[in-house]
Amino acid sequence: MISGSSAKTNTDSTTGSLSYINDLVTGATTSGSYIIVVPRTLMNEAMATNLRSVYGYNVTKRHDNMGTNDSYLISWGNNDDPTPTPTSTPTSTPTVTPRPATATPTAAPTNLPTDTPTPTPSPTPLPATATPTPLPATSTPLPATSTPTPAPATPTPAPTSAYRTYDYTISATDIALATGNTGGNAQYNGKVVIIVTNGYNCVNTTPRTFTLGLTAGSNYRSWVCSPNGVTPVIGYYANDTLVTTGLVSTQTLAGACPCP
Protein backbone atom coordinates (compact mmCIF):
# COMPACT_ATOMS: atom_id res chain seq x y z
CA MET A 1 0.00 0.00 0.00
CA ILE A 2 1.39 3.44 -0.95
CA SER A 3 1.98 5.78 2.01
CA GLY A 4 -0.09 8.90 2.52
CA SER A 5 2.90 11.22 2.02
CA SER A 6 3.80 9.51 -1.27
CA ALA A 7 0.21 9.75 -2.46
CA LYS A 8 0.16 13.48 -1.71
CA THR A 9 3.47 14.01 -3.56
CA ASN A 10 2.18 12.15 -6.64
CA THR A 11 -1.12 14.10 -6.59
CA ASP A 12 0.68 17.46 -6.27
CA SER A 13 2.97 16.53 -9.20
CA THR A 14 0.04 15.50 -11.40
CA THR A 15 -2.01 18.60 -10.53
CA GLY A 16 0.88 21.02 -11.14
CA SER A 17 1.60 19.53 -14.56
CA LEU A 18 -2.00 20.10 -15.79
CA SER A 19 -2.41 16.34 -16.50
CA TYR A 20 -5.71 16.26 -14.58
CA ILE A 21 -6.96 19.40 -16.38
CA ASN A 22 -5.95 17.87 -19.73
CA ASP A 23 -7.97 14.71 -18.92
CA LEU A 24 -11.03 16.83 -18.01
CA VAL A 25 -10.77 18.86 -21.25
CA THR A 26 -10.32 15.69 -23.33
CA GLY A 27 -13.43 14.14 -21.78
CA ALA A 28 -15.45 17.34 -22.29
CA THR A 29 -14.52 17.66 -25.97
CA THR A 30 -15.44 13.99 -26.53
CA SER A 31 -18.96 14.71 -25.26
CA GLY A 32 -19.25 17.96 -27.27
CA SER A 33 -18.88 20.35 -24.32
CA TYR A 34 -17.08 23.73 -24.39
CA ILE A 35 -16.65 24.23 -20.64
CA ILE A 36 -15.44 22.53 -17.43
CA VAL A 37 -15.37 23.58 -13.74
CA VAL A 38 -12.37 22.70 -11.55
CA PRO A 39 -12.41 23.12 -7.72
CA ARG A 40 -9.66 25.17 -6.08
CA THR A 41 -8.27 22.06 -4.38
CA LEU A 42 -7.08 20.89 -7.82
CA MET A 43 -6.06 24.23 -9.36
CA ASN A 44 -4.38 27.53 -8.43
CA GLU A 45 -3.72 30.97 -9.96
CA ALA A 46 -0.36 29.90 -11.43
CA MET A 47 -2.07 27.11 -13.36
CA ALA A 48 -4.84 29.49 -14.46
CA THR A 49 -2.25 31.96 -15.80
CA ASN A 50 -0.49 29.12 -17.65
CA LEU A 51 -3.77 27.98 -19.25
CA ARG A 52 -4.51 31.53 -20.45
CA SER A 53 -1.07 32.60 -21.73
CA VAL A 54 0.33 29.32 -23.08
CA TYR A 55 -2.71 27.28 -24.14
CA GLY A 56 -5.23 30.03 -25.01
CA TYR A 57 -8.11 29.02 -22.67
CA ASN A 58 -10.65 31.38 -21.06
CA VAL A 59 -10.27 30.94 -17.26
CA THR A 60 -12.63 32.65 -14.77
CA LYS A 61 -12.44 32.38 -10.99
CA ARG A 62 -15.80 31.78 -9.29
CA HIS A 63 -16.86 32.17 -5.62
CA ASP A 64 -19.47 29.92 -3.98
CA ASN A 65 -20.99 29.90 -0.46
CA MET A 66 -20.31 33.57 0.31
CA GLY A 67 -16.81 33.38 -1.21
CA THR A 68 -15.54 30.53 0.99
CA ASN A 69 -15.19 27.96 -1.83
CA ASP A 70 -13.40 29.08 -5.00
CA SER A 71 -13.54 27.22 -8.28
CA TYR A 72 -12.26 27.85 -11.79
CA LEU A 73 -14.42 27.89 -14.92
CA ILE A 74 -12.37 26.90 -18.00
CA SER A 75 -13.94 27.38 -21.42
CA TRP A 76 -13.05 27.34 -25.09
CA GLY A 77 -15.10 28.01 -28.23
CA ASN A 78 -18.03 30.34 -29.01
CA ASN A 79 -21.70 29.59 -29.87
CA ASP A 80 -22.86 33.05 -30.99
CA ASP A 81 -25.06 33.12 -34.13
CA PRO A 82 -25.07 36.50 -35.94
CA THR A 83 -27.63 35.50 -38.56
CA PRO A 84 -30.75 37.27 -37.12
CA THR A 85 -29.47 40.84 -37.61
CA PRO A 86 -28.68 40.97 -41.35
CA THR A 87 -32.11 39.70 -42.45
CA SER A 88 -33.99 42.82 -41.28
CA THR A 89 -31.88 45.39 -43.14
CA PRO A 90 -32.03 44.04 -46.73
CA THR A 91 -35.83 43.88 -46.76
CA SER A 92 -36.22 47.58 -45.97
CA THR A 93 -33.79 48.96 -48.56
CA PRO A 94 -35.29 47.45 -51.77
CA THR A 95 -38.69 49.03 -51.07
CA VAL A 96 -37.21 52.53 -51.56
CA THR A 97 -36.68 52.01 -55.31
CA PRO A 98 -37.06 55.35 -57.23
CA ARG A 99 -39.54 53.94 -59.76
CA PRO A 100 -42.03 56.87 -59.62
CA ALA A 101 -39.16 59.25 -60.43
CA THR A 102 -38.36 57.44 -63.71
CA ALA A 103 -41.90 58.01 -65.02
CA THR A 104 -41.70 61.85 -64.91
CA PRO A 105 -38.59 62.48 -67.05
CA THR A 106 -40.14 60.73 -70.07
CA ALA A 107 -42.18 63.86 -70.88
CA ALA A 108 -39.12 66.17 -70.92
CA PRO A 109 -37.01 64.37 -73.57
CA THR A 110 -39.89 64.35 -76.08
CA ASN A 111 -39.87 68.20 -76.20
CA LEU A 112 -36.09 68.62 -76.49
CA PRO A 113 -35.45 66.70 -79.75
CA THR A 114 -38.36 68.37 -81.54
CA ASP A 115 -36.73 71.88 -81.28
CA THR A 116 -33.40 70.90 -83.05
CA PRO A 117 -34.15 67.98 -85.36
CA THR A 118 -32.75 68.75 -88.84
CA PRO A 119 -29.50 70.79 -88.26
CA THR A 120 -27.65 68.13 -86.19
CA PRO A 121 -28.59 64.88 -87.99
CA SER A 122 -26.81 65.97 -91.22
CA PRO A 123 -23.33 64.83 -90.00
CA THR A 124 -24.62 61.25 -89.71
CA PRO A 125 -21.80 59.76 -91.91
CA LEU A 126 -19.31 60.43 -89.07
CA PRO A 127 -20.84 57.87 -86.71
CA ALA A 128 -20.88 55.48 -89.67
CA THR A 129 -17.06 55.63 -89.77
CA ALA A 130 -17.05 54.63 -86.10
CA THR A 131 -18.92 51.44 -86.95
CA PRO A 132 -15.93 49.11 -86.39
CA THR A 133 -18.01 47.38 -83.71
CA PRO A 134 -16.12 44.07 -84.15
CA LEU A 135 -13.28 45.56 -82.10
CA PRO A 136 -15.11 45.17 -78.77
CA ALA A 137 -15.86 41.58 -79.78
CA THR A 138 -12.12 40.87 -80.01
CA SER A 139 -11.64 42.17 -76.48
CA THR A 140 -14.07 39.67 -74.94
CA PRO A 141 -11.67 36.70 -74.81
CA LEU A 142 -9.28 38.74 -72.64
CA PRO A 143 -11.35 38.36 -69.44
CA ALA A 144 -11.59 34.64 -70.21
CA THR A 145 -7.80 34.34 -69.95
CA SER A 146 -7.90 35.82 -66.43
CA THR A 147 -10.45 33.27 -65.16
CA PRO A 148 -7.91 30.80 -63.61
CA THR A 149 -8.22 32.76 -60.33
CA PRO A 150 -9.74 29.87 -58.26
CA ALA A 151 -6.41 27.98 -58.29
CA PRO A 152 -4.86 29.73 -55.20
CA ALA A 153 -7.73 28.51 -52.98
CA THR A 154 -6.67 24.84 -53.17
CA PRO A 155 -3.44 24.80 -51.05
CA THR A 156 -5.36 25.25 -47.75
CA PRO A 157 -5.73 21.55 -46.71
CA ALA A 158 -1.97 20.89 -46.87
CA PRO A 159 -1.17 21.50 -43.13
CA THR A 160 -3.40 18.60 -41.96
CA SER A 161 -1.30 15.88 -43.64
CA ALA A 162 1.99 17.70 -43.01
CA TYR A 163 1.98 16.86 -39.27
CA ARG A 164 2.03 13.64 -37.21
CA THR A 165 1.24 12.77 -33.59
CA TYR A 166 2.97 10.28 -31.26
CA ASP A 167 2.15 7.81 -28.46
CA TYR A 168 4.20 8.20 -25.25
CA THR A 169 4.89 5.71 -22.46
CA ILE A 170 6.47 7.51 -19.50
CA SER A 171 8.62 5.46 -17.08
CA ALA A 172 9.04 6.16 -13.37
CA THR A 173 12.71 5.22 -13.80
CA ASP A 174 13.36 8.30 -15.94
CA ILE A 175 11.23 10.44 -13.62
CA ALA A 176 13.45 9.52 -10.65
CA LEU A 177 16.55 10.71 -12.54
CA ALA A 178 15.05 14.11 -13.43
CA THR A 179 16.41 16.03 -10.42
CA GLY A 180 18.82 18.81 -9.55
CA ASN A 181 17.40 21.35 -12.02
CA THR A 182 17.31 25.04 -11.14
CA GLY A 183 16.04 28.29 -12.61
CA GLY A 184 13.87 27.82 -15.67
CA ASN A 185 14.55 24.06 -15.67
CA ALA A 186 13.24 23.58 -12.13
CA GLN A 187 9.76 22.97 -13.55
CA TYR A 188 11.08 19.77 -15.19
CA ASN A 189 12.18 18.09 -11.96
CA GLY A 190 10.34 14.77 -11.77
CA LYS A 191 9.15 14.91 -15.41
CA VAL A 192 10.05 13.52 -18.81
CA VAL A 193 10.16 16.29 -21.40
CA ILE A 194 9.03 16.28 -25.04
CA ILE A 195 10.64 19.02 -27.18
CA VAL A 196 8.75 19.79 -30.41
CA THR A 197 10.30 21.94 -33.15
CA ASN A 198 7.91 24.05 -35.27
CA GLY A 199 4.94 21.95 -34.15
CA TYR A 200 1.59 22.69 -32.49
CA ASN A 201 -1.11 21.12 -30.34
CA CYS A 202 -4.89 21.02 -30.45
CA VAL A 203 -5.18 23.88 -27.93
CA ASN A 204 -2.85 26.30 -29.74
CA THR A 205 -2.44 25.50 -33.46
CA THR A 206 0.12 28.26 -34.08
CA PRO A 207 3.34 26.54 -35.31
CA ARG A 208 6.08 27.05 -32.71
CA THR A 209 8.85 25.29 -30.76
CA PHE A 210 7.91 24.29 -27.21
CA THR A 211 8.73 21.87 -24.37
CA LEU A 212 6.10 19.68 -22.67
CA GLY A 213 6.66 17.97 -19.31
CA LEU A 214 4.94 14.59 -18.76
CA THR A 215 4.54 12.75 -15.46
CA ALA A 216 5.13 9.12 -14.52
CA GLY A 217 2.66 6.36 -15.27
CA SER A 218 1.24 8.03 -18.40
CA ASN A 219 0.52 5.77 -21.37
CA TYR A 220 -1.61 7.61 -23.91
CA ARG A 221 -1.73 9.28 -27.33
CA SER A 222 -0.32 12.79 -26.97
CA TRP A 223 -1.98 15.78 -28.64
CA VAL A 224 1.46 17.13 -29.61
CA CYS A 225 1.71 17.50 -33.42
CA SER A 226 5.15 17.47 -35.07
CA PRO A 227 5.99 18.21 -38.74
CA ASN A 228 6.59 15.23 -41.00
CA GLY A 229 10.26 14.24 -40.90
CA VAL A 230 10.91 16.12 -37.62
CA THR A 231 10.76 13.68 -34.69
CA PRO A 232 10.17 15.25 -31.24
CA VAL A 233 13.06 14.93 -28.75
CA ILE A 234 12.21 12.83 -25.67
CA GLY A 235 14.42 12.99 -22.57
CA TYR A 236 14.71 14.51 -19.11
CA TYR A 237 16.68 17.30 -17.43
CA ALA A 238 19.18 16.30 -14.72
CA ASN A 239 21.31 19.02 -13.08
CA ASP A 240 20.18 21.44 -15.83
CA THR A 241 21.47 19.10 -18.58
CA LEU A 242 19.17 17.44 -21.14
CA VAL A 243 19.60 13.64 -21.22
CA THR A 244 18.27 11.82 -24.32
CA THR A 245 20.07 8.46 -24.13
CA GLY A 246 19.39 5.33 -22.05
CA LEU A 247 15.70 6.24 -21.52
CA VAL A 248 13.10 3.67 -20.51
CA SER A 249 10.30 5.98 -21.66
CA THR A 250 9.33 5.65 -25.32
CA GLN A 251 7.60 7.56 -28.10
CA THR A 252 5.95 5.88 -31.10
CA LEU A 253 4.61 7.43 -34.31
CA ALA A 254 0.80 7.21 -34.08
CA GLY A 255 -0.61 8.80 -37.25
CA ALA A 256 -2.14 12.00 -38.59
CA CYS A 257 -2.72 14.85 -36.14
CA PRO A 258 -6.34 14.83 -34.86
CA CYS A 259 -6.72 18.61 -35.02
CA PRO A 260 -6.38 20.99 -38.03
Per-residue model confidence as pLDDT tens digits over 149-176 = 556 544 333 345 799 998 889 999 999 9
Q: Which residues pair with 61 in a beta bridge?
A: 72
Q: 22-31, 108-117, 139-148, 197-206: which range is least confident on average? A: 108-117
Mean pLDDT of 19-40: 88
Mean pLDDT of 122-138: 49
**Higher model confidence: residue 73 or residue 138?**
73
CB 193 within 8 A of CB 170: no
pLDDT value of position 43: 85
Instruction: Please give the distance of CA 222 from its chain centroid, rounded to a whole number.
Output: 18
Per-residue model confidence as pLDDT tens digits over 49-106 = 989 999 999 999 887 666 667 788 999 876 443 333 333 444 444 444 445 444 444 4
The runs of H, that is alpha helices, within 54-152 are 84-92, 99-103, 107-115, 125-129, 134-139, 141-145
Instruction: Please give the distance of CA 253 from its chain centroid, rounded to a whole number.
Output: 23
Give Rg (Cα) of the chain.
34
Mean pLDDT of 175-182: 96
The rounded percent of the chain whose pLDDT value lies above 70 is 62
Per-residue model confidence as pLDDT tens digits over 206-249 = 899 989 888 876 655 567 899 998 999 999 999 999 999 999 99
| 231 secondary structure, DSSP code | P
Separation of alpha carbons 226 and 196, rounded Å: 6
Q: Please state the pTM of the whole predicted model.
A: 0.39
The Cα-based distances of 232 to 49, 164, 188, 222, 248 in angstroms read 26, 10, 17, 12, 16
The runs of H, that is alpha helices, within 104-222 are 107-115, 125-129, 134-139, 141-145, 158-161, 172-177
Mean pLDDT of the chain: 74
pLDDT value of position 19: 83
Residues 6 or more apart whose CB falls under 8 angstroms from that of 214 comprise 17, 19, 168, 170, 191, 192, 193, 194, 222
Q: What residue spans define the domains of the chain?
A: 11-77, 159-260
Give the DSSP H or E segment for 219: strand 219-227
Name the residue among 246, 182, 247, 183 with its Cα closest to residue 214.
Answer: 247
| 172 secondary structure, DSSP code | H
